[in-house]
Amino acid sequence: MKTLLKTALVAAGLAMAAQAAAQVTFYERESFEGRSFTTSKRVANFERFGFNDRASSVVVAGNQYEVCDDIRFGGRCMILRPGRYASLAAMGMNDRVSSVRVIDRNARIDEARYAPAPVSAQVTFYEKDNFSGRSFTADRQVDNFERFGFNDRASSVEVAGNQWEVCDDIRFGGRCMVLRPGRYASLAAMGLNDRVSSVRIMDHNMRIDDSRYAPVPVSSQVIFYENDNFSGRNFTADRQVENFQRFGFNDRASSAVVLGERWEACEDIRFGGRCVVLRPGRYPSLARMGLNDRVSSVRSIAANARFDDNRYAPAPAAVYDNRRRDNERVYEANVTSVRAVVGTPEQRCWVEKEQVAPARSNISIPGAVVGAVIGGILGHQVGGGRGQDIATVGGAVAGGAVGSQVGRVTGGAPQTRDVQRCENLPTQTKADYWDVTYNFRGQEHRIQMTTEPGATVRVNDKGEPRA
């Protein structure tokens, strides 16, 4: 009898321990940041705890939990396995969780009810910007990338499941930065392009000085435009949209810009009909993929999801993301020069008798155009040279008229011989873009913009342009 009682007490103790270990922690922002709320029991209404429709990431421990977007476990519900979910956007639950409850381990659950599996802690480096080229994935510390043929080769990186420290010397020496979970389309912003030599995982509970963190990876979103080339009315989504009709944009999209993650666009509501996966970048026309004026629903794609090549849209032009990062301080930098760039010129020649006129001046714009609003950024480069062919959405994408004057014929003695003269004429009267130079903290920067700048442009503490 004593033996049976002892066995029962041990079993009860183990059950209580297992139950205590089961808990779920919700965070107000992605990547487990901001205010948090932890529970080990069912919560029928998050409003009672001041956390209704606030959760953006979650850590599940010890058991499965069901989260629902209505109180008392109503509305749309999903099952979360134990693990770390850096973003609830991928499952359409960002800022929508209203109730949660633990699920019995033995309960039979249809696979369709599960959220995408949480990814383990890993980091994937890519040889080129925007997650292209050869790649190298690590799920543990690597003290020398040379052993894997990837030393000083990484230009972009995806971080999943935890924070990682990357260093520009082997064995975690030299300059190091901590990367939060997310997608970093370019390591150039943090001065580590083609310089990473070692990497290691960071304990989630470790206290890290803010100065050691890389710039926060920005959230994923897609912007649809009513006309080709990013003009007309626009509609932005940062979470799944099952029916564009609710937003007055059904079958209206003709171009798109994708930021952060991949998105799936479908021609029927609730992700039905023909669907196409859009990579980060800008799509000046959806006609190439047969979706012009046909998009009815859209949703983000998990970073670890795999697709056949035929599911993807044609490769987009690269995108430069000038959105302001969380808590990022911005400054005004003085514009020092502005040059309008028009379409490919054509040549016109003629013969003049009696005199030779001096050449006409090039099209130009005053260095500071006061009152203009900063628009899209086509590229950013430190120092001289042309900007990269990349763009973002920070304002109207259509260029304004070129406010310039062509130089007049000036003095000089007339000639009495026949002279053939030629000049290049622009094929259009509107600028393709504006080549802008600005100075920040003694360093010259050049950007290409889709609209005329004002007297200043907004930048972060590294001089990178921000909307």
Q: Last residue of some domain: 178, 212, 246?
A: 212
In a domain, 6, yes or no: no
Question: Which comes out higher in pLDDT, residue 219 or 8?
Answer: 219
Whether residue 346 is found in the same domain as residue 439: yes
How remote is the C-alpha of 164 from its chain's centroid?
19
pLDDT the model gives residue 415: 45
CA distance 90 to 263: 10
Q: What is the mean pLDDT of residues 166-183?
A: 92
In a domain, 7, yes or no: no
Percent of the chain with pLDDT over 70: 73
432: tokens are 């393709």
pLDDT the model gives residue 188: 81
Whether residue 303 is found in the same domain as residue 344: no
Mean predicted lDDT score pLDDT of the chain: 77
User: Lowest mean pLDDT: which of 14-28, 124-138, 373-387?
Assistant: 373-387
Q: Is the pLDDT of residue 392 over 70?
A: no
Q: What is the mean pLDDT of residues 71-82?
A: 93
CA distance 58 to 32: 7
CATH number of the domain residue 190 falls in: 2.60.20.10
In a domain, 320, yes or no: no
Whether residue 248 is found in the same domain as residue 196: no
For residue 205, with 0-12 CB atoms within 10 Å meaning exposed, 13-18 middle and 19 or more buried, which class applies?
Answer: exposed
pLDDT (tens digit, 9 = 90+) per residue, 127-154? 987 677 899 999 889 999 999 999 999 9
CA distance 423 to 428: 15
302: tokens are 């998990």
Whether residue 148 is found in the same domain as residue 186: yes
* Four-point Cα dihedral 448, 127, 202, 172, nearest 10: -100
pLDDT the model gives residue 377: 64
User: Could you give the number of structural domains in the chain?
Assistant: 4
Rounded to the nearest 5°, which phi and psi values hold at 200?
-150, 150
Q: Is the pLDDT of residue 354 over 50?
A: no
Whether residue 270 is found in the same domain as residue 298: yes
Whether residue 339 is found in the same domain as residue 453: yes
Whether residue 337 is found in the same domain as residue 450: yes
Residue 373 sits in which domain range?
A: 331-402+416-459
190: tokens are 């943090």
Q: What is the largest CA-CA distance in the chain?
A: 129
In a domain, 317, yes or no: no
In a domain, 325, yes or no: no
Closest CA to 276 of 257, 259, 297, 250: 297
**For residue 168, what is the DSSP state?**
S
Whether residue 83 is found in the same domain as residue 133: no
User: Lowest mean pLDDT: which of 22-31, 248-257, 364-373, 439-448?
Assistant: 364-373
Which residues are 351's β-sheet partners? Answer: 420
Q: Last residue of some domain: 252, 282, 311?
A: 311
Whether residue 128 is found in the same domain as residue 103: no
In a domain, 191, yes or no: yes
CA distance 281 to 200: 30
In a domain, 5, yes or no: no
Q: What is the mean pLDDT of residues 435-440?
A: 88
H or E element: which one contains 84? strand 83-85
Whether residue 452 is found in the same domain as residue 336: yes
CA distance 460 to 387: 18
Whether residue 225 is found in the same domain as residue 195: no
Q: Last residue of some domain: 277, 311, 345?
A: 311
Question: Which comes out higher in pLDDT, residue 409 or 300?
Answer: 300
User: Lowest mean pLDDT: which of 12-16, 66-70, 98-102?
Assistant: 12-16
Whether residue 428 is found in the same domain as residue 445: yes
CA distance 290 to 91: 26
pLDDT the model gives residue 365: 23
Q: Is the pTM of this model over 0.85?
A: no
For residue 399, with 0-12 CB atoms within 10 Å meaning exposed, 13-18 middle and 19 or more buried, which class applies?
Answer: buried
In a domain, 465, yes or no: no
pLDDT (tens digit, 9 = 90+) per residue, 225-236? 999 888 888 888
Closest CA to 285 of 228, 226, 342: 228
